[in-house]
Amino acid sequence: MYLSLRSEVEDALEAALAALDLPTDDLGIERPPEDVDAAVASSVAFRMAGEVGAPPPKVAADIAAETDPTGYEYVGRVDTQGPYVNVFPSDSYVAETVETAQSEAYGRLPDRDTSVVVEHTSANPTGPVHVGRARNPIVGDAVVRVLDFAGYDVDAHYYVNDAGRQVAVFTWAYETFDESDLPEPEREKADYDLVRYYRKGNEFLKEGDDEAVEAAEAEIDAIMQGLEDGDEAVYERVGTVVDTVLDGMTETFDRLPAEFDEFVKETRLMRSGATDDVVERLRALDEAVYEKEAWQLDLSDHGFDKNLVFLRSDGTSLYTTRDLAHHEWKFDNYDRAVTVIGEDHKLTFNQLDQSLELLGYDTDQLDQVFYSWVNLPGGEGMSTREGTGVDLDDLLDEAIDRARAEVEDRLDDRLRDDDLDEAGVERIAEQVGTGAVRYDIVSKQPTKSITFEFERALDFEAQSAPYVQYVHARACGILGEAADEGVEPAESVDPDLLDTDAERDLLRTIARFPAAVDEAAAELEPHRVATYTRTFAEQFNAFYRECPVLTADDPETRRARLALVAAARETVGNALRVLGVAAPDSM
């Protein structure tokens, strides 16, 4: 609705400016500050003041006078406040917003007939997911949801690194060490079970005596070579380790939840011949050089100091080589490809982008979302290999425990009489606990680094998931109560019935939701939706305070407000779904 209003305002302003013989290329359309009542505003008068030779307020008044709302569906009154031209929405804007927002699909944008593959997480399958890695599935899954909601046809992919050196080390370690030499696993789960071998192996390679390490390295190299040569037995050995660990990790991702449509293995691109094929084409490029027995791309003419090695001197491919084949495959199968990836991969990714361009691809179809690392207080990093950091499973457990304690605490002085049983307590604890962790991460700009603080992530008060979830629960509560009393939301609403500031502010915020989705999708910034939910919650709470619904003075107002509550519930419910945060019916 807001998007339509905005484009109508553009048309109306353009027409007014043209009628005044003024340029129409810069309309200065913006959203006014919260304490200004207009829905859309323009600072165009500043820009025209010089041209016209009159002070901005005078110019604004002239433009406003020339702007004719008739013929526009959503443009109501046009007014000025000093140098600003302010546009107020029409009655049908109000009525239509309340009506359309009551639909389950509110905010979902029309199909764009465009397929997008979103690759995210793609963490090495080497062990339990720790909090440092958690930013990727959380942001990645939110990007998937935002794009889906914005009308794209989205597939979520996890690119499995099953051909790298680390996996070879892992396979060797798994086959070499005996369980009796390992510590107890921290959890009864496949990834915790197997990571013990990986850690033991790395420790051995670091501290074992030279001769033994050399022998181990030879075995590891043999595994790498086996993969490169297409040795089925080696694929199978590696696959056993990778699949087992990945199953454990997937269980953790499911808790968030972060869901994948497909796990694409690197080895698939080796076995299919795609990697060899791209190597041939890379070698044929003008930028290809053969130095120190390794094939590389000299990208210095394209702004890269460092050569990109794509074939080792022993003839094996590198991660980036396989990733080039991987991206060619994406280009063949999708209209767009988005990768959510840590900023430490930025250089490599830019080289990959450049290489794809040299291979003749249109890399405008390729987008990346880079995120910064998550650190522990005190500047300590997190490492699977060394076993430092906070496991995501532990964080989620703790979050749910705290949420459960919170629900139980509130049980006694709970006003609402809805017979909350044990399953209900558990349901709320999981929705709130998991939601809090997820929201804490998804609500921040990915480019900013995060210092992970347990207490802050699990603060259930304002600016957290529970704060927003509570709004949804409150709306559900009112609607449930109304249904019990046999009161139905109004099907069509007389805008005059919703004319307090609180009602109008809430309505305007509801109307803006599709625009928020559109912007978040365009910029690949799901945190914008989180920012939106926060504003939304504030507006709803103001409405809740100011406007009694069930005890409103007359039946028409009651039903009109109820319709507004229904619209609010769908809006905040869908906003939470876009973020991947549960929307509880009660709390």
Partner RNA sequence: GGGCACGUAGCUCAGUCCGGAUAGAGCGUCGGACUUCUAAUCCGACGGUCGUGGGUUCAAAUCUCACCGUGCCCGCCA
Pick out residues in 357-376 that bind RNA (CB under 7 A): 372-373
CB 129 within 8 A of CB 252: yes
CA-CA distances (angstroms) from residue 241 to 159, 179, 237, 267? Answer: 16, 15, 7, 14
Figure out which of the listed residues 544, 559, 574, 580 binds RNA, where binding follows CB under 7 A. Answer: 544
- Tokens representing 274 are 């795609």
Closer to RNA by Cβ: residue 41 or 567: 41
Minimum Å gap between C-beta 552 and RNA is 8
Closer to RNA by Cβ: residue 76 or 466: 466
Size of the site for RNA (CB under 7 A): 101
CB 470 within 8 A of CB 587: yes
Rounded distance, CA 453 to CA 131, Å?
11
387: left (phi over 0), alpha (psi -120 to 50) or beta: left
Minimum Å gap between C-beta 180 and RNA is 30
Q: Is 462 in the site for RNA (CB under 7 A)?
A: yes
Residue burial 282-302, b: 16+ Cβ < 10 Å; e: rest = beeeebbeeeeebbbbbbeee
Span from 140-148, 267-275, 311-319, 393-401 in contact with RNA (CB under 7 A): 311-319
Q: Is 456 in the site for RNA (CB under 7 A)?
A: yes
Span from 102-110, 203-211, 250-258, 545-553 in contact with RNA (CB under 7 A): 545-553
Figure out which of the listed residues 72, 74, 84, 149 binds RNA, where binding follows CB under 7 A. Answer: 84
Residue 315 amino acid letter: G
Figure out which of the listed residues 5, 98, 392, 403 binds RNA, where binding follows CB under 7 A. Answer: 403
Residues 173-212 that bind RNA (CB under 7 A): none
Closer to RNA by Cβ: residue 102 or 317: 317
Span from 95-103, 192-200, 310-318, 360-368 in contact with RNA (CB under 7 A): 310-318
Closer to RNA by Cβ: residue 77 or 346: 346
Closer to RNA by Cβ: residue 181 or 461: 461
CA-CA distances (angstroms) from residue 108 to 279, 298, 512, 532? Answer: 42, 46, 12, 15
Question: CA nearest 157: which of 268, 267, 261?
Answer: 261
Minimum Å gap between C-beta 178 and RNA is 26
Q: Is 218 in the site for RNA (CB under 7 A)?
A: no
Q: Is 293 in the site for RNA (CB under 7 A)?
A: yes
558: left (phi over 0), alpha (psi -120 to 50) or beta: alpha
Minimum Å gap between C-beta 193 and RNA is 22
Question: CA nearest 583: which of 449, 467, 446, 425?
Answer: 467
CB 560 within 8 A of CB 526: no
Pairing relation of β-strands 336-342 and 115-119?
Answer: parallel
Q: Is 517 in the site for RNA (CB under 7 A)?
A: no
CA–CA–CA angle 446, 451, 456 (5° rounding): 100
Span from 99-107, 193-201, 249-257, 447-455 in contact with RNA (CB under 7 A): 447-455
Figure out which of the listed residues 241, 450, 490, 516 binds RNA, where binding follows CB under 7 A. Answer: 450
Figure out which of the listed residues 21, 35, 188, 362 binds RNA, where binding follows CB under 7 A. Answer: 35
Closer to RNA by Cβ: residue 129 or 537: 537
Residues 139-168 that bind RNA (CB under 7 A): 161, 163-166
Residues 92-131 that bind RNA (CB under 7 A): 124
Rounded distance, CA 529 to CA 527, Å?
5
CA-CA distances (angstroms) from residue 309 to 98, 200, 342, 560? Answer: 58, 30, 21, 66
Q: Is 288 in the site for RNA (CB under 7 A)?
A: no
- Strand ranges, E, within 404-542: 450-451
Minimum Å gap between C-beta 181 and RNA is 25
End-to-end Cα spacing for the chain: 31
Minimum Å gap between C-beta 500 and RNA is 12
Largest CA distance in the chain: 89
Minimum Å gap between C-beta 91 and RNA is 21
Q: Is 77 in the site for RNA (CB under 7 A)?
A: no
| Neighbouring C-beta atoms of residue 175, cutoff 10 Å | 14
CB 561 within 8 A of CB 502: no
Minimum Å gap between C-beta 379 and RNA is 6
Closer to RNA by Cβ: residue 194 or 242: 242
- Tokens representing 12 are 């109306």
Rounded distance, CA 255 to CA 252, Å?
5
Minimum Å gap between C-beta 257 and RNA is 19
Minimum Å gap between C-beta 307 and RNA is 7
Q: Is 516 in the site for RNA (CB under 7 A)?
A: no
Closer to RNA by Cβ: residue 182 or 205: 205
Span from 149-157, 342-350, 508-516, 571-579 in contact with RNA (CB under 7 A): 342-350
Q: Is 222 in the site for RNA (CB under 7 A)?
A: no
Q: Is 379 in the site for RNA (CB under 7 A)?
A: yes
Residue burial 400-436, b: 16+ Cβ < 10 Å; e: rest = bebbbebbeeeeeeeeeeeebeeeeeebbbbbbbbbb
Span from 107-115, 148-156, 355-363, 437-445 in contact with RNA (CB under 7 A): 437-445
Figure out which of the listed residues 246, 318, 497, 521 binds RNA, where binding follows CB under 7 A. Answer: 318
Alpha-carbon torsion (450, 456, 460, 463), positive or negative: negative
Q: Is 41 in the site for RNA (CB under 7 A)?
A: yes
Give counts: helices (H), strands (E), the chain: 21, 14
Closer to RNA by Cβ: residue 96 or 308: 308
